Structure 1
Amino acid sequence: MKISQKLFLAFVGLTSVVLIATLSLARWGFDQGFISYTNSLQQERLEELAVSYSELYQQSAYDWNNVSKKKFAQIIRQFTPLHGPFEGAERKGPPPRPKHKPPRFDGPPPHLTGEARGDLPPHLRDSNQTVPPKRRRPVTALYSISGQLLAGDKFDILGSTISVDVTYNDQVIATLYTKAVVKVNSISAEAFSKQQLWTSIWIGLLCLILASLISWVLARLLLIPVREVVNGISHLSKGNYNERFKVAREDELGLLMNDIDHLAMTLDKNRTAKNRWFADISHELRTPLSILCGEIDAIKAGIRPFNQQQLTSLEQEVMRIKHLVDDLYQLSLSDVGGLKYHFEPTDITLCIAETLNSLADKVSDKGLSLNFIHTKTITINGDKMRLQQLLYNVILNSVAYTDSPGSINIDLIEELGSLSILINDTKPGVPLDECELLFDALHRQDSSRVRRSNGAGLGLTICRNIVEAHNGHITARPSNLGGLCIEISLPTL
């Protein structure tokens, strides 16, 4: 089943449940409200009766014994309708006279068959219709304060009843009772109730049809961005990383589209980096191999003699290839997490001092000066060998790319829970937009800081992986000395 069909069925099902619940509650509320309205009419009728009986009590010399039963019944009939949605006693007394006087028949009527009965007047054709049906009144009773029935019908006043006190001079002289309506059984009331029921059903069906149409439209509209996402993923699966979503949305689908765009950009960037990686590696390997092949061909042809000088030249090219292969191996290990780390409390100040001692000869041969004055012990949790490798590569990079005479300053800034190692060198510098590219593998910078050593441009990439393994980060920016500033941030103990 398609998503559009599922959405359509979900919308229609939810609408149906809400409609059924709403109409059921509305129906229940209508019945309860109608019964409550009927009982309120009964309450008003009893209040009017109470006023009349209070006046009757005053006219009878303040004694109910002076009132005749006929007078009691007359007042009750006066304020009691002969119709209405009530459950009550049937009307007593003779049936009402018909409006048209029926014709007289001499003698007793013979036993009539169905055919002969058709000759009779309409009100005498059916034996069940010879007397009009008895009409109902609401059951009403008047009780004295002593519990004596004064007028009306006798019934259980302890049940569901409505009562109103008859008062005179703020004193209760009697109580009126009537049965409370718990069920509407009038023909007109039932007809009205059925009419309301069918009206509600038709309204519900109309709303359901309208909701179905709206659900169908909404399902199609909501699936438009989903189809765009599917098409975008299809382009990615085919290797087309240049397709972008042109619709700007602020909802979850918009976030998904932005993530897919970012994924496409990342895949395109990785593919470009992979192609550049292969090209750079092949170039780095082709250069020393070309030199080796040329030197060997020259020796074989007798153009150059095979002596110590030529052997040293060949050794330099072989060591260059070996250095490149070692860097590639170290980088591959760091990328896949294959470098082994043994974390322990390590004095970073001592690591820097030992690294500077190992680079003292290269710094002096280049004509540079190293400035590092820090005797305070700063302990971090790290691998001493990897930290020395990190510091060696970063400082050696500054030595290789700093013009002579120049200087390299190393500063430590200790903050709460972190340590920043700043390595600043003098000219030449690096533009700000290319600083972060220095940590990309085999990155070549077209500026005054060209590669001046036998390195392949993998050292800073390995340094970044080592720093990240120590839960830190490394950044590059232009130095205030005119060169480059490398900042290494590491957490402290």
Structure 2
Amino acid sequence: MQISQKLFLAFVGLTSIVLIATLSLARWSFDQGFLDYINSLEQERLASLSEDILTLYATSLPAVTEEAESVLGWYKLSQNSLNQTILTHSRLPRIPRDNNANGFDKPPRPAGRLAEQPRQGPRQPPPNMRPGASSHRGGPPTGLYSADDQYIAGTVIDKKVDTISYPLMYNQQVIGYLYSNPMREIVSSSATAFAQQQRWTSVGIGLVCLLLASAIAWWLARFLLVPVKQVMLGVSYLSKGDYDQRVMDTQRADELGQLMANIDHLAMTLSKNRSAKNRWLADISHELRTPLSILCGEIDSIKAGIRAFDSTQLISIEQEVLRMKHLVDDLYELSLSDVGGLRYHLTTVNISESLDSTLVSIASSMHEKGLTLSKQIAPMLFVSADVRRLEQLFINLLMNAMAYTDSPGNIDVQLTSQASTVILTINDTKPSATEAECEHLFEPLYRQDTARTRRGSGAGLGLTICKNIVEAHNGSITATPSLMGGLCIRVQLPLLRKSI
């Protein structure tokens, strides 16, 4: 199964679960709310009914004391009038019966005037007013009870189940109660039809929403997979070694767009590294081929008897061998530096003294080449460094300046401090280098002159080794055109402390 199908099924499944849960909760909430609404109407009906019953109660009272009101009031009223009052306050549709003119059930036949009955015993409900039976066909059963919970009129209410009660207050006294059974389920045909209509409406809405969600899920799955497929295509290009293909989508600014940009950057980096490797192999081959060609030529000349094997030829052969040894040593040291194989024993070093001693050691070589050395060294500047690697850094930088400075020329060396940084600056006179060339000076085997005119015994690895040494000491090194007409090398190292 493809990932697009899995995404589509996942979206549809999740949507279906959420939709079913939402519709089920909405249906349950509707049923409960509908019944609560009907029961709240029942409370209002009982309140309206209580007003009419209290009016009948007040008009039937004789001029007696308040203590006798609760005793005599209900027995002055006929049960028929109370039943008729209860019947007329039904708010639900009424069904005609026995061709009664008013459309109501016939009220129970009264057993005579209640006032003529003995007052000691409670009233007995009519035969058709059994518990749970409605006094009319339209509304819920309603019963009238006295304050001491004795049946008076209406329907006998079973109080063991849930009931709705409404107290009857007269002269700030409870003289009776109205009881009604609340609806716990929909029983009428109209309410049932309405509930079924709402149920089918909910099902229809759910199906429409599911179809809409399926369409959106299908589109969303395809939309999300487009950049994923592009990423997979870019990775396949990389695995095949094709680093020139690009998958970047400039219109995307999300995580997938960032992933595409990273893949493109990785492709450019791999392409650059492959080009650098090929160029480096070509440069190494060139650097080794030159002394080897000279050696082979001189050996062939000696073997052919063209040249005599004397001290002059021996010295010439020795120079070419030393040139190759120097190149191999540089390559080995550079490889160790790149993989972190060079060991650094950091100690507190007076960089001012170390630089000054290095300048003294090569002063004679500069003078022989016709170069003038000027220096300005701030005293007692200390750094945390490896003494041997630090001296190697100075020698490589100064030898590079000597190799690429025409005679007569000047080399200016300055060592200063600024804030928490030691700054070494080496300026020389022409020839110079452009800004673009300065960016490549620290690359392995890079030479400023494309004709590779040999200015010395170096192989173009000195500045690369210098960069690795500086970075190992948490510093930085840059090259820019010098104001003196040549090149300016600037080295920054963390200052450990100043002398007092």
Q: TM-score, normalised by structure 2?
A: 0.80
Q: Equivalent residue for 1:111?
A: none
Classify the secondary structure of the residue corresponding to 1:424: strand
Give the fraction of aligned pairs with identical amino acids, expressed as a percent. 55
* Separation (CA, whole Å) in 2 of partners of 1:466 and 1:78: 106
- Aligned residues of 2:140 and 2:182 also touching (Cα < 8 A): no
* Separation (CA, whole Å) in 2 of partners of 1:399 and 1:340: 28
* 1:237 pairs with one of 236, 239, 245: 239
* Separation (CA, whole Å) in 1 of partners of 2:455 and 2:172: 117
- Aligned residues of 1:428 and 1:449 also touching (Cα < 8 A): no
* Separation (CA, whole Å) in 1 of partners of 2:380 and 2:451: 37
Bigger relative contact order, structure 1 or 2, given CA contacts below 8 A and separation 6+? 1
Classify the secondary structure of the residue corresponding to 1:438: coil
Give the deviation of 1:439 after TM superposition: 0.9
Matches within 5 A, 1:287-436: 287-366=290-369, 367-380=371-384, 382-403=385-406, 404-416=408-420, 418-436=421-439
* Separation (CA, whole Å) in 1 of partners of 2:430 and 2:50: 112
* 1:252 pairs with one of 250, 255, 259: 255
* Separation (CA, whole Å) in 2 of partners of 1:157 and 1:412: 103
Q: Equivalent residue for 2:30?
A: 30
- Aligned residues of 2:351 and 2:380 also touching (Cα < 8 A): no
* Separation (CA, whole Å) in 1 of partners of 2:80 and 2:99: 24
The reply to whether residue 96 of structure 1 matches residue 97 of structure 2 is yes
- Aligned residues of 1:232 and 1:244 also touching (Cα < 8 A): yes
139 and 383 in structure 1: CA distance in 2 versus 1, 3 angstrom threshold: farther
Structure 1 runs not aligned, ≥5 long? 85-90, 101-133
Classify the secondary structure of the residue corresponding to 2:381: coil
31 and 492 in structure 1: CA distance in 2 versus 1, 3 angstrom threshold: farther
* Separation (CA, whole Å) in 1 of partners of 2:51 and 2:223: 68
Q: What amino acid sits opposite 1:415 in the alignment?
A: A
What per-residue deviation string (whole Å, max 9, x for no partner) do you get for residues 240-281 of structure 1? 222123632212221122112112211221221122111111
- Aligned residues of 1:444 and 1:451 also touching (Cα < 8 A): no
137 and 399 in structure 1: CA distance in 2 versus 1, 3 angstrom threshold: same
Classify the secondary structure of the residue corresponding to 2:493: strand
The reply to whether residue 52 of structure 1 matches residue 62 of structure 2 is no
Structure 2 runs not aligned, ≥5 long? 63-68, 102-135
- Aligned residues of 2:352 and 2:415 also touching (Cα < 8 A): no
487 and 39 in structure 1: CA distance in 2 versus 1, 3 angstrom threshold: farther
Give the deviation of 1:492 after TM superposition: 4.6
* Separation (CA, whole Å) in 1 of partners of 2:163 and 2:484: 101
- Aligned residues of 1:427 and 1:482 also touching (Cα < 8 A): yes
- Aligned residues of 2:413 and 2:424 also touching (Cα < 8 A): no
- Aligned residues of 1:398 and 1:408 also touching (Cα < 8 A): no
- Aligned residues of 1:8 and 1:215 also touching (Cα < 8 A): yes
Give the deviation of 1:440 after TM superposition: 0.7
Q: Equivalent residue for 2:121?
A: none
Give the deviation of 1:456 after TM superposition: 0.4
Q: Equivalent residue for 2:113?
A: none
Bigger shift: 59-68 or 191-200? 59-68
Q: What amino acid sits opposite 1:71 in the alignment?
A: S
What per-residue deviation string (whole Å, max 9, x for no partner) do you get for residues 257-308 of structure 1? 2112112211221221122111111111111122222223333344334333
51 and 486 in structure 1: CA distance in 2 versus 1, 3 angstrom threshold: farther
* Separation (CA, whole Å) in 2 of partners of 1:57 and 1:477: 113
- Aligned residues of 1:406 and 1:427 also touching (Cα < 8 A): no
What per-residue deviation string (whole Å, max 9, x for no partner) do you get for residues 306-353 of structure 1? 333333222222111111111111111112222122233433334323
What per-residue deviation string (whole Å, max 9, x for no partner) do you get for residues 225-248 of structure 1? 222222222222222222123632
- Aligned residues of 1:292 and 1:317 also touching (Cα < 8 A): yes
Classify the secondary structure of the residue corresponding to 1:488: strand
* Separation (CA, whole Å) in 2 of partners of 1:451 and 1:51: 121
* 2:474 pairs with one of 447, 471, 476: 471
245 and 189 in structure 1: CA distance in 2 versus 1, 3 angstrom threshold: same
Give the deviation of 1:202 after TM superposition: 3.0
Q: Equivalent residue for 2:200?
A: 198
Classify the secondary structure of the residue corresponding to 1:25: helix
The reply to whether residue 71 of structure 1 matches residue 81 of structure 2 is yes
Aligned length: 449
* Separation (CA, whole Å) in 2 of partners of 1:304 and 1:157: 136
485 and 59 in structure 1: CA distance in 2 versus 1, 3 angstrom threshold: farther
- Aligned residues of 1:346 and 1:384 also touching (Cα < 8 A): yes
Q: Equivalent residue for 2:446?
A: 443
451 and 297 in structure 1: CA distance in 2 versus 1, 3 angstrom threshold: closer
Q: Equivalent residue for 2:3?
A: 3
* Separation (CA, whole Å) in 2 of partners of 1:164 and 1:435: 99
User: How large is the Cα RMSD of the aligned pairs?
Assistant: 3.1
Matches within 5 A, 1:135-174: 135=137, 137-143=139-145, 149-155=151-157, 160-167=162-169, 174=176
Q: Equivalent residue for 1:219?
A: 221
Q: What amino acid sits opposite 2:239 in the alignment?
A: S
* Separation (CA, whole Å) in 2 of partners of 1:39 and 1:294: 117
Classify the secondary structure of the residue corresponding to 2:208: helix
Give the deviation of 1:458 after TM superposition: 0.6
Q: Equivalent residue for 1:126?
A: none
- Aligned residues of 2:243 and 2:271 also touching (Cα < 8 A): yes
Bigger shift: 282-291 or 64-73? 64-73
Q: TM-score, normalised by structure 1?
A: 0.81
449 and 43 in structure 1: CA distance in 2 versus 1, 3 angstrom threshold: farther
Q: What amino acid sits opposite 1:196 in the alignment?
A: Q
- Aligned residues of 1:371 and 1:409 also touching (Cα < 8 A): yes
185 and 474 in structure 1: CA distance in 2 versus 1, 3 angstrom threshold: farther
* Separation (CA, whole Å) in 2 of partners of 1:165 and 1:420: 99
- Aligned residues of 1:144 and 1:175 also touching (Cα < 8 A): yes
* Separation (CA, whole Å) in 2 of partners of 1:241 and 1:69: 102
Give the deviation of 1:169 after TM superposition: 7.6
- Aligned residues of 2:23 and 2:202 also touching (Cα < 8 A): yes
Classify the secondary structure of the residue corresponding to 1:379: strand
What per-residue deviation string (whole Å, max 9, x for no partner) do you get for residues 339-374 of structure 1? 122233433334323332333322333322131321
What per-residue deviation string (whole Å, max 9, x for no partner) do you get for residues 53-99 of structure 1? 33334323484333332222221111125659xxxxxx9xxx93158
Classify the secondary structure of the residue corresponding to 1:456: coil
Classify the secondary structure of the residue corresponding to 1:270: helix
Q: What amino acid sits opposite 1:332 in the alignment?
A: S
373 and 58 in structure 1: CA distance in 2 versus 1, 3 angstrom threshold: same
